[in-house]
Structure 1
Amino acid sequence: MKLIVGLGNPGNEYAKTRHNVGFMLVDALADHLNITLWKDKFNAKIAEGRIGSEKILLVKPQTYMNNSGEAVGPLMRWYKLEPEDVIVAHDDMDIPAGTIRIRKKGSSGGHNGIKSLISHLGSENFARVRLGIGRPLPGWSVVNHVLAPFPAEDKQAVDEAVKYLIPAVECIITDGLDVAMNKYNPKKQKKQKIKQEEGVQNG
């Protein structure tokens, strides 16, 4: 069994904000897999389903972002799972809006939701599906940025990223993280950067 956790804040006022892209991906997965029955357990909305032969549990913590681990830790222990069985989708300011990154593990990178998960899971060894939301505008605080809705141009890019990540998450479950990272993590930007650097050097 795998836990697919989307991070976000509960309530309609937060539903379309940047901080809630994790919830958006989990909801899109639920629609894709025709999962409609949600239950409340350990301060989370949970729903069971399958990807291939693997049983999955979709999880939306209801603790608010900064205390996400208070829901995920008990769920992991209740189902007798390891941190490596947990896949977490969350927003990331360090990459442009609509850009994605899949990682095996790592530090919180200053993300309070991830910080809470590391604390309550007792490990950094859980997969991350990072959805870029970009940096705050000049004069904006981080809080104002993450709790604001996406502007139209970013919203389209994020919607496309969510669609792109549905088969990516399925690939993580069926074929493993390494295969999914190799197949779905962006490669073009690296090649373009190398070409640009070569052009500068040759110019």
Structure 2
Amino acid sequence: MKCIVGLGNPGRKYQQTRHNIGFITIDELLHRNQWQLEKEKFNGCYTIQHLEGEKVLLLKPLTFMNLSGEAIRPLLEYYDISTEDLLVVYDDLDLPTGKVRLRQKGGHGGHNGIRSTIDQLKTKDFNRLRIGIGRPANAMPVVDYVLGKFQKDELDRVVSGIKHAADACEAWMKKPFAQVMNEYNQ
């Protein structure tokens, strides 16, 4: 079984914010396949489905971003999913808005959700799909920026990036991750 985790913050206050682009990508996959997150366990809301002939668990942690790993680790252990079958989708300040980048391993790059995941899994070796949200153009604090909603002039790039990310997630169901990286890194 494979596991795709979208990072974000729970609650209405954070819906459609830059930091929740991982949640929004999970929502895109759910919408495309007419699925719902019907299970709740270990601080996460999830579903187990079949996609492209592969069993997949889609997860949204119910913890806040900086505790994401506390929802991911127990579910991986419970369902006996290896870290090589994990894909974490999240926002990246260092990529232009809507740009998609896949990686097989790496550090946290200052992202607290990835920091928590690394701490909980005790490894940096897991697949990541980063979606660019850009950096604030003015002196706006980063916290305010990532917790803010996308501007109208960003929406086309954001929607395109989310669809591209969801396509990459679906491709991973039938292809090795390295091949998906080569095909979907923009």
* Aligned position for 1:74: 74
1:33 equivalent to 2:30? Answer no
CA 1:37 to 1:128, structure 2 compared with 1: closer, same or farther past 3 Å? closer
SS in 2 for 1:101: strand
Distance 2:138 2:111 in 1: 20
State the identity %.
44
Q: Taking structure 1 as the reference length, what is the TM-score of the superposition?
A: 0.89
Please identify, of 87-96 and 149-158, the stretch whose mean Cα deviation from structure 2 is larger.
149-158
Provide the aligned length of Structure 1 versus Structure 2: 186
1:125: how far off?
1.0
Q: Which amino acid aligns with 1:82?
A: S
1:80-114 alpha-carbon deviations (Å, 9 max, x no partner): 11111110000000001111101111110110000
Q: Matched residue of 1:89: which SS? A: strand
Query: In 1, Cα distance between the equivalents of 2:55 and 2:120?
Result: 23
**Distance in 1 between the 2:105 and 2:97 partners?**
21
Shift, 1:37, TM fit? 4.6
Is 2:107 the partner of 1:117?
A: no
* TM-score, normalization by structure 2: 0.97
Structure 2: tracts of 5 or more residues without a match: none
1:130 aligned counterpart, secondary structure: strand
> Aligned-pair distance for 1:137?
2.6
Q: Quickly say closer, same or farther: Cα 1:105–1:23, change in 2 above 3 A.
A: same
Amino acid in structure 2 at the alignment position of 1:171: A
| Greater RCO (CA < 8 Å, at least 6 residues apart) | 2
Does 2:73 correspond to 1:107? no
DSSP 3-state at the match of 2:102? strand
Find the aligned partners of 1:37 and 1:158 in 2 and give their Cα distance: 23
1:136 corresponding residue in structure 2: 136
- Contact 1:33 1:49 (C-alpha < 8 Å) held by counterparts: no
Q: Contact 1:35–1:48 (CA<8 Å) still a contact in 2?
A: no
Q: Name the structure 1 match of 2:83.
A: 83
C-alpha separation between the residues in 2 aligned to 1:19 and 1:37? 20
Bigger mean CA deviation after superposition, 19-28 or 42-51: 42-51
In the alignment, the residues of structure 2 paired with residue 92 and residue 109 of structure 1 have an alpha-carbon distance, to the nearest angstrom, of 9
Indicate whether 1:15 and 2:19 are aligned: no
**What is the CA distance between 1:31 and its match in structure 2?**
1.0
Structure 1's unaligned 5+ residue stretches are 187-203
Alignment of 1:122-201 (within 5 A): 122-186=122-186
What amino acid maps onto 1:86 in structure 2? L
Deviation at 1:22, TM superposition (A): 0.1
| Other structure's SS at 1:174 match | coil
Return the alpha-carbon distance in structure 2 between the equivalents of residues 57 and 41 of structure 1: 12
Which letter does structure 1 place at the counterpart of 2:163? K
